[in-house]
Structure 1
Amino acid sequence: MSSPKSMSRATGWSEEVENLFRFQQAGYRDEVEYVQVKHGASVDKWPESGFVKKLQLRDNTFYYYNRRRECPDQDVHKVKVYVY
């Protein structure tokens, strides 16, 4: 498992921050960790926005997300951005 070299907090909303918010809400650092934990499982994304559509949690239940933004402005600073 590759571990991140550093971590910072998001300062503004972007598509990347939106997807990180969704992964972290589901209990993963980011897409890298999700693919490692789920042994290469592909991430289901909305075709028009590129946002994560569905994630499988570690207990094999699922989180489903809307095609529109879900990360509220007041939660943007809570999103962790990892550098590998």
Structure 2
Amino acid sequence: MAKADLKPKSIRHAKNWSDEVENLYRFQQAGYRDEFEYKQVKQVDTVECWPETGFVKKLQRRDNTYYYYNKQRECEDKEVHKVKVYVY
């Protein structure tokens, strides 16, 4: 079974900021669990990222509008605990 077909086994909330948490924050702002769900829903193979930081650059929301993100960190410390980390 492909990973895209899997449902998360568990969820935990992020405790500390990291590159992974930053990207999850961006996917969740756009209405997706994570990169796997985004690729599955939008039928894309890659996500546009900033080459300097590796952070997600832009995402298409479910209503087909776009979110554009900065190359710097956007998830503030006070937002970190809201980010859900899905375990497959």
Give the TM-score taking structure 1 as reference length.
0.97
Q: Distance in 2 between matches of 1:63 and 1:51?
A: 13
Describe how 1:1-84 pairs up with structure 2 within 5 A: 1-84=5-88
Unaligned runs of 5+ in 1: none
Unaligned runs of 5+ in 2: none
Alignment coverage as a number of residue pairs:
84
Q: Distance in 2 between matches of 1:62 and 1:39?
A: 16
Structure number with the higher strand fraction is 1
Deviation per residue, 1:47-80 (Å, 9 max, x gap): 0100000000011110000000000100000000
Letter in 2 for 1:44: E
User: Following TM superposition, by how much is the alpha carbon of 1:40 offset from its aligned partner in structure 2, in angstroms?
Assistant: 2.5
Determine helix, strand or coil for the equivalent of 1:52.
Answer: coil
Q: Distance in 1 between matches of 2:17 and 2:46?
A: 24
Divergent runs of 4+, >2 A: none
Determine helix, strand or coil for the equivalent of 2:36.
Answer: helix
Superposition CA RMSD, Å: 0.8
